[in-house]
């Protein structure tokens, strides 16, 4: 059984902490009258599996990227409780491939109790391959991620990826999988 010291774990944001792809679906429906089945998102790059105008995809991604705190982007079930519990022990590190972190910080302030913002660091790398140097520099040994390509990259460099199960990452891989935040909590050395 994997037991993780809380100071040695970090988290991706989209798809792990925030239910970003469900919000993508909701925006597509409400703004563009496009119906998408969540289970049909079998690849991380939505445009590769859904027949949607690339300009519409770009517009929705821009909303999700710039205004997550202003739209109905909800946390994945259980995320807030587990992260608040970890933050009572150590600081939290979120490493995201987003181009900038301020919207994520605003989203966290909206969803988490007041005290959590002091113990949170959000690092926006601009792409998934730049997560590795951030995690290494901060002495992180475990990373919760929903993108398999990133997991392989991290694993090669000695960081243990833990896959947050999503429809787009169910292909065969050697990594530990968590289905929800209850599973994540069970791995933490409380």
Q: Are 98 and 11 in a shared domain?
A: yes
Residue 1: inside a domain, yes or no?
Answer: no
Residue 33: inside a domain, yes or no?
Answer: yes
Query: What are the DSSP calls for 118-164, one per residue?
Result: GGEEEEE-SSGGGHHHHHHHTT--EEEES-HHHHHHHHHTT-EEEEE
pLDDT band for position 75 (50/70/90)? very high
Q: Are 98 and 43 in a shared domain?
A: no
Residue 60: inside a domain, yes or no?
Answer: yes
Which residues have a Cβ under 8 Å from the Cβ of 88 and sit 6 or more positions away?
none
Q: Are 153 and 99 in a shared domain?
A: yes
Domain boundaries, position 148: 6-19+74-187
Number of domains present in the structure of the chain: 2
Question: pTM, whole model, 2 decimals?
Answer: 0.94
Q: Of 187, 150, 114, nearest to 12 (Cα)?
A: 150
Q: CB-based burial of residue 137 (10 Å sphere; 0-12 exposed, 13-18 middle, 19+ buried)?
A: exposed
Q: Which two tokens stand for residue 181?
A: 């935040």
Q: Please state, rounded to an integer, the average pLDDT across all residues of the chain.
A: 94
Residue 174: inside a domain, yes or no?
Answer: yes
Q: Are 85 and 158 in a shared domain?
A: yes
Q: Are 177 and 131 in a shared domain?
A: yes
Q: Are 86 and 146 in a shared domain?
A: yes
Q: Are 100 and 158 in a shared domain?
A: yes
Reported as type and span, the H/E element at residue 23 is helix 20-32
Residue 47: inside a domain, yes or no?
Answer: yes
Q: Of 154, 170, 162, nearest to 186 (Cα)?
A: 162
The mean pLDDT value for 163-185 works out to 96
Query: β-strands 120-124, 142-145: how paired?
Result: unpaired
Q: Are 108 and 159 in a shared domain?
A: yes
Query: β-strands 160-164, 142-145: how paired?
Result: parallel
Residue 52: inside a domain, yes or no?
Answer: yes
- CATH number of the domain at 177, please: 3.40.50.1000
Position 105 scores a pLDDT of 92
Q: Are 127 and 49 in a shared domain?
A: no
Total residue count of the chain as it appears in this document: 190
pLDDT band for position 115 (50/70/90)? low
How many Å is the maximal CA-CA distance in the chain?
47
Q: Of 46, 81, 50, 80, nearest to 64 (Cα)?
A: 46
In tens, the pLDDT along 134-144 reads 999 999 999 99
Residue 112 has pLDDT above 90, yes or no: no
Residue 179: inside a domain, yes or no?
Answer: yes
Q: Are 132 and 102 in a shared domain?
A: yes
Give the Cα separation of 175 and 173 in Å (integer): 6
Q: Are 24 and 91 in a shared domain?
A: no
Residue 119 has pLDDT above 90, yes or no: no
Q: Which two tokens stand for residue 33?
A: 């009258």
Residue 127: inside a domain, yes or no?
Answer: yes
Q: Are 93 and 139 in a shared domain?
A: yes
């Amino acid at each position: 059984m994997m037991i993780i010291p809380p100071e040695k774990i970090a988290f991706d944001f989209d798809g792990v902490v925030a239910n970003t792809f469900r919000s993508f679906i909701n925006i597509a429906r409400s703004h563009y009258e496009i119906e998408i089945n969540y289970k049909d998102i079998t690849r991380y790059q939505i445009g590769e599996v859904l027949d949607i105008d690339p300009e519409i995809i770009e517009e929705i991604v821009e909303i999700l990227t710039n205004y997550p705190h202003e739209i109905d982007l909800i946390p994945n079930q259980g995320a807030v409780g587990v992260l608040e519990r970890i933050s009572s022990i150590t600081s939290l590190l979120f490493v995201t491939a987003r181009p900038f972190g301020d919207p994520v910080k605003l989203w966290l302030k909206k969803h988490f109790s007041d005290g959590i913002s002091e113990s949170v660091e959000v690092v926006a790398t601009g792409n998934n391959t730049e997560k590795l140097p951030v995690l290494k520099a901060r002495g992180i040994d475990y990373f919760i991620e929903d993108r398999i390509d990133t997991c392989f990259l991290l694993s090669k460099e000695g960081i243990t990826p833990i896959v947050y199960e999503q429809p787009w990452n169910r292909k065969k891989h050697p990594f530990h999988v968590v289905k929800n935040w209850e599973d994540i909590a069970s791995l933490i050395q409380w």
